C-alpha cells in the first residue's frame, strides 16, 4: 500500500477496489441489493408469502377515485381512533350520543356531572376561535335532562317488570312442604 492510499484511508476517503476501480460503498450497495433479492426468493420458496390476508382479492376502494389521504382514513378506521374531529363536529356527535351515554349511568349525580361536563365543553367551544364548521350545539338544561333520564329509567323498569313477575322455579332437589 502506498503512502497516498494510506492517507486516503486514514482521512476516511472512500477506498476503491484495485481490480474494478469501483468504490467500496457502491459495491456494498450492489451486494445489499442482491442479498435482499436472495432473501425474498428464499422466503417465496419456503412459502412465507402463501395464504396472506387478502391474497387473490382486489384491493378495497382501489380505482373509485384518487384520495391522497386514503391511508389516514384506513388508519383511523383500523385503529378506531376518535376525538380528531373539529370541536363543533365532535360536540354535535357527543350531543347525539349523550342520551345513550346517560342511560348507562346508575345515579342522578353521575348524570348531572356528565351533563355539566358536556355543557362546560360547549361553553368553552363558544368562546374559542372557530377552527372548522360553526358551532350550533346548545348547552342542555341539567334538571330537564336528569328528569328525562329518570323517566326513561322508570319506563325501562316497567317493561322489564312482567318478565321478573314469574314465580321462581323450584329446584328438583328441594321438597315441597
Confidence check: pLDDT of 166 > 80 = no
pTM comes to 0.49
- Using alpha carbons, list the distances in angstroms from residue 126 to 6, 31, 133, 137: 72, 62, 12, 9
**Is 149 within 8 Å of 103 (Cβ atoms)?**
yes
Confidence check: pLDDT of 62 > 80 = no
CA dihedral 81, 83, 88, 94 (to 10 degrees): 100
Q: What is the mean pLDDT of residues 75-83?
A: 82
Amino acid at each position: 500500500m502506498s503512502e497516498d492510499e494510506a492517507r486516503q484511508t486514514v482521512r476516511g476517503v472512500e477506498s476503491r477496489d484495485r481490480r474494478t476501480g469501483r468504490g467500496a460503498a457502491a459495491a456494498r450497495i450492489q451486494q445489499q441489493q442482491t442479498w435482499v433479492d436472495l432473501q425474498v426468493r428464499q422466503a417465496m420458496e419456503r412459502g412465507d408469502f402463501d395464504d396472506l390476508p387478502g391474497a387473490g382479492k382486489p384491493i378495497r376502494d382501489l380505482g373509485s377515485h384518487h384520495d391522497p389521504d386514503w391511508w389516514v382514513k384506513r388508519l383511523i378506521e383500523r385503529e378506531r381512533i376518535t376525538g380528531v374531529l373539529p370541536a363543533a363536529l365532535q360536540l354535535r356527535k357527543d350531543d347525539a350520543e349523550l342520551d345513550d351515554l346517560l342511560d348507562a349511568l346508575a345515579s342522578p349525580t353521575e348524570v348531572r356531572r356528565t351533563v355539566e361536563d358536556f355543557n362546560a365543553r360547549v361553553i368553552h367551544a363558544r368562546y374559542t376561535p372557530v377552527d372548522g364548521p360553526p358551532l350550533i350545539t346548545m348547552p342542555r338544561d341539567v334538571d330537564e335532562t336528569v328528569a328525562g333520564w329518570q323517566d326513561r329509567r322508570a319506563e325501562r323498569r316497567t317493561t322489564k317488570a312482567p318478565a321478573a313477575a314469574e314465580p321462581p322455579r323450584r329446584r328438583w332437589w328441594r321438597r315441597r312442604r
